[in-house]
Structure 1
Amino acid sequence: MELSSKNEYAILALVELAAHYTGGEPLQIRQIAAQQNIPDRYLEQLLAALRRGGLVRSQRGAKGGYVLSREPWKINLLEVMNCLEGADAQMAEDDEPKTVENTVICEIWQEAHTASETVLQRHTLQDICEKRDARRQLDIMYYI
């Protein structure tokens, strides 16, 4: 499994929203894009997909923007990836008869896929925020 730029940008945007979750104020696309260095147009598309997937809500108006649809500790990375890629983004099934070697490879690939899903399901947006803050704190302490 590879982390696509689509998934990476979406997670960065969600982490930005998670960091501002307690304030309750929506963030505008330009704010998120500037903070996380994501192209505005691309971010618009990603946030629209995340809204359709139920991970974010949009608010209209002068003070409108995007907010998480639920607490950051209740949104895991597997949900984010499934929202963008679809839960069916697995190995394609061939109609050709499989050799023993192909069958073994497919079984191992499925095991790896299941293991990666377990890890992604275990980590939430809140976890990323906490790890980021801890790393920033270490960097500050290192430079003093």
Structure 2
Amino acid sequence: MELSCKSEYAILALLELASHYQKGEPLQIRQIAAQQNIPDRYLEQLLATLRRGGLVKSQRGSKGGYFLTREPWKITLFDIFVCIEGLDKLKNCQEDKPQTSDNAVVKDIWEEARQAANSILQKYTLLDLCEKRDSRNNLDIMYYI
């Protein structure tokens, strides 16, 4: 399993929305794009996909923008990955050719790896990512006397 650019940008956009969740105000595409260094047009398409997937909602008007549909601690990385990449990326590859014992062993190990990856993605939420980012940022602070 590989993290696509599409999934990474989606996670970064949702991370930005999660950072502003408590304020209750929507963020505009240009704000998210500038903060996370994501191209505006690409972000617009990603947010449309995330909206159709039920992870974000949009608000029209001069004070419009996007915000999360659920609390950051209720949105897992698995939810985001499934919304962006689809379930077919998470399913095991089934081929029509007859399976040898070599094929079966490889597929069994690959299935185990896929299940482990899915388990980790289900374990982490947007809130967890915010907390990890904040603790990393705090470690980067240098104090000079």
Q: What is the TM-score of this pair, normalised by structure 1? A: 0.96
Aligned AA for 1:59?
Q
Alignment pair present for 1:19 and 2:19: yes
Deviation string, structure 1 residues 26-74 (Cα, Å, up to 9, x no partner): 0000000000000111101110000000000000000100000010000
Alignment of 1:8-87 (within 5 A): 8-87=8-87
SS of the equivalent of 1:57 reads strand
1:107–1:31 CA distance, 2 compared to 1 (3 A): same
Contiguous gaps of at least 5 residues in structure 1: none
What is the CA-CA distance between 1:92 and the residue it aligns to? Answer: 2.6
What is the CA-CA distance between 1:88 and the residue it aligns to? Answer: 2.2
Alignment pair present for 1:126 and 2:127: yes
Aligned AA for 2:75?
I
The runs of 4+ residues in structure 1 deviating greater than 3 Å are none
Alignment pair present for 1:137 and 2:138: yes
Contiguous gaps of at least 5 residues in structure 2: none
Identity of aligned residues (%): 66
Aligned AA for 2:122?
Q
CA distance in 2: counterparts of 1:2 and 1:143, whole angstroms: 38
What is the CA-CA distance between 1:7 and the residue it aligns to? Answer: 0.5
Aligned AA for 1:133?
D
What is the CA-CA distance between 1:98 and the residue it aligns to? Answer: 1.2
CA distance in 2: counterparts of 1:109 and 1:143, whole angstroms: 47
What is the CA-CA distance between 1:143 and the residue it aligns to? Answer: 5.1
